[in-house]
Amino acid sequence: MTHTTSSIDPDRLWRAFDILQDWLDEGVVTAVASVVVHRGRIAGEFYGGKTAPAFDALPINGASLFHIASIGKPMTAFAVMTLVEAGRLALDDPVSSILPAFRGAEREAITVRQLLTHTSGLPQDPDCSRLPPDVSTSDELRTYLHARPVVPPGSKVEYSNVGYGLLGLIIEEVSKKPFATFMRERVFTPAGLHDAWLAPPDDLVPRIVHVDGTLDPGSPTERFNSAYARRQTHPAGSVLATARDVARFFQVFLNGGVIDGRQVISPAAARLMVTNQTSGLRGGIEGFMTWDDCAWGLGFDLRGAKRPHFSGEFTSPNTFGHAGVSGVFAWADPALDLVCVMLANRTLFDLWNVSRWSRFSTAVVASLTGVPQSPHR
C-alpha cells in the first residue's frame, strides 16, 4: 500500500479541469468527463458538453455512459486472471491447447500470456473483408481462429485486437459461459461497476455519449453510434461505462485487488497485471505511437520509460493505464496514489490527442502538494 503525505490543491486541480473546458470551448470535443481520485477518495470531477448533437440531448454528468473502447482490455484481462487464480488456466498454456482450431502457421507457439501482453505477433485488426457488415461478435471472433502472426510470436509488442478477441473465446471455452455474462458476474458486479455495460439495454441509450469522428457516419453499422454497434460484446473494446466506474476499476489495482473492503481479485494477480512483462521489446501501435522499450503488463499499458506518454511528464515508471480510440484514457500511479480518468468523445484518427492528453495529465499531477512517500514493499 502506498503512503503519502501529499494532498490535492483544489484550485490547481480546477486549473487542470479548465484545460478540458478549453477543449469544449474550442470545439475539439463536444463531451468530456473526468474523475481524479487521490488516496482512494474522489478529489475532483469535471463534466461538460452534451451526450449528442441533438437539441434535447442530456448534459454530461456522472451518469453519462462513454464508449471506453480499449480501456476495456484490462477488464478482459481481469476476467482471464480470475480463471488463472482459480487454477483453471495457466498464463503459459498454448492457446491451441484451449482452442484446438487455433493451429498451424506458427499459431502453436502462441500462449495466453502473449495474447494479454500483445506479444503474440497477431495483427492489430482482423480481416473482415469477407464478412457481412452486420456480422455478430460471436461469428467475427470465430474467424480469428485462422489469423496468422504478422511478426514472430514473442519478438515485439504488436498491439492486437485479434489477440483480445481470442481471449474472449478462451474465457467462454473455459468458463462455459457467454463472454458478456462472465464479465458481469466476475468483473463488473464484484468490483461494484454497476454502470459498466456490454450490450446495454435500450433504456440506457439516452445516457450514451455520441462519438464524433467515426469513419462511417450515418451507416447502419457505424462504429460506436449505431444500434448494431451497441449490441457488440467484443472483448477488445465494447464496454460502456461512467467515468466513476472506470476510476473505481483502476483503484482496485492501487488497493492490491480490494475495493470496499472486498478482495475481488487476489493480491498476486493484481500485482502481476501491473508488472512489466515485455522488458526490452520494441513496439506499440504501429502508425500511431511506438517505443523502443514498450512496457506492458497483463492488459495494462505501463509507463516504464515511454516518452511521450498520455500520463504526462510527472508520473512514475510504475504508472499503469490504457487509452481508447473513442477518445478516452485512464491511468493510475502507485507512487502518487492517484487515479486520473478522462473520457471524451472524438476518435483518435486525426491524432487530436497528441500532446493535449499529456498536458492535461501533467496539470493534474501538478495539483498535488506535499511529498509522496515510496510504497512499502
Q: Which strands sit side by side in the sheet containing 320-324, from one edge to the other?
A: 41-49, 31-38, 338-344, 328-333, 320-324, 301-302
- Predicted pLDDT of residue 234: 97
Tens digit of each residue's pLDDT (9 = 90 or more) over 216-242: 999 999 999 999 999 999 999 999 999
- Predicted pLDDT of residue 3: 43
Per the document, the length of the chain is 377
Tens digit of each residue's pLDDT (9 = 90 or more) over 135-156: 999 999 999 999 999 999 999 9
All three cell numbers of 198, joined, read 456490454
Exposed e or buried b per residue across 303-322, where buried means at least 16 C-beta atoms within 10 angstroms of its C-beta: bbebeebbbbeebbebbbbb
Summarize the confidence of residues 153-178 as an average pLDDT: 97
Whether the bond between 308 and the residue before it is cis, its omega within 30 degrees of 0, is yes
Domains of the chain by range and CATH? Answer: 7-369 (3.40.710.10)
Task: Please check the confidence at residue 187 and state whether its pLDDT lies above 50.
Answer: yes
Separation of alpha carbons 62 and 346, rounded Å: 19
Q: Report the predicted TM-score, pTM, of the whole model to 2 decimal places.
A: 0.95
Which residues contact residue 309 at a Cβ distance below 8 angstroms, ignoring those fewer than 6 apart?
303, 315, 358
All three cell numbers of 304, joined, read 516504464
Q: Which CA distances in Å does 90 have to 80, 85, 121, 330?
A: 10, 9, 20, 28
Query: In this structure, which long-range contacts are made by residues 222-231, counting pairs with CB atoms below 8 Å and at least 24 apart in sequence?
Result: 224/67, 224/326, 228/134, 230/199, 230/200, 230/205, 231/137, 231/199
Q: Which of 187, 191, 201 is nearest to 230 (CA)?
A: 201
Summarize the confidence of residues 181-185 as an average pLDDT: 98
Tens digit of each residue's pLDDT (9 = 90 or more) over 2-26: 344 679 999 999 999 999 999 999 9
All three cell numbers of 223, joined, read 462504429
- Predicted pLDDT of residue 69: 97
Task: Please check the confidence at residue 356 and state whether its pLDDT lies above 80.
Answer: yes
